[in-house]
Each structure stands twice: as C-alpha cells, then as structure tokens.
Amino acid sequence: MKYIYSLPLADDFFLYLSTNNYSSKTVSDYKGDLAIFDGFLKDNNVEIKELTKRNIFEFKAYLYSEERKTATTKKLAHKKLSAVTINRLLSVIRVYLRFLTDQDYLLSINADMFKW
C-alpha cells in the first residue's frame, strides 16, 4: 500500500535523496519515518509550516507511547520504540526540514529543535 503524503515537497525530498547517493533501503526507511511524522501531524491537525516547540514535545511523547499508530495501517503499535529508532526518526525529520529550508520553504521552527 502506497502512503499518500501531505507533507510539502515530499516527492522532491525523496528524489533529492535518490540523486544524492542514498541507497534505496535508506530512501525506503526515510519514507516510513516521514509517514509516521505526517500521520502525527494529520491526526493533530497541525500544518508543518505552523509547527511549535510544543508540537515537537508532543511528537516525542507520541514516539515513546505505546498508543502510537503504525504509519501504513494506522493500527495501534502496542510496542514502544527503542531509543535508537526514536533518534533515527528525529534525525530523518531534521534532514527533511533542512531540505525544506534549502528549498526556501518557510518554517516557524528550526530543524535542530528535533533532537533527542
């Protein structure tokens, strides 16, 4: 099942990754990680250009939660993510937000706010 992103410039971001020597596995992992972030934003009616520090804290709490939904099936995960996985997710979001900034997309927060 292909995920439909509501994130701005998502397809451009994946193309950027593919053309900058990221492996197909890495691009696939990034797609899954961004789908989790995108789903969180959709579920909370938050537009990425209006992200706040509080939204970041809420997203981190969501990642730690067992009430987190899977990216594709939207079913409850019933399993906590490891610290390594959460750190990778936050790293992927930072890369994506930096890409948006490089594309002159206006954000209300700095990408570096997404850290462990």
Residue 4 lies in a domain: no
Residue 56: give the domain boundaries. 10-113
CATH number of domain containing 96:
1.10.150
Domain for residue 3, yes or no?
no
Q: Report pLDDT for 66.
A: 74
User: Does some domain include residue 37?
Assistant: yes
Domain annotation covers residue 25: yes
26 in a structural domain: yes
pLDDT digits (tens, 9 = 90+) for 26-74: 999 999 999 999 999 999 999 999 999 899 989 988 888 877 766 555 5
In the chain, how many domains are there?
A: 1
Residue 116 has pLDDT above 90, yes or no: no
User: Of 54, 20, 14, which is closest to residue 33 (Cα–Cα)?
Assistant: 14
Is residue 65 included in any domain, yes or no? yes
What does the pLDDT look like over 64-83, one tens digit per residue? 887 776 655 556 656 778 88
Query: In the predicted model, what is the mean pLDDT of residues 3-17?
Result: 94
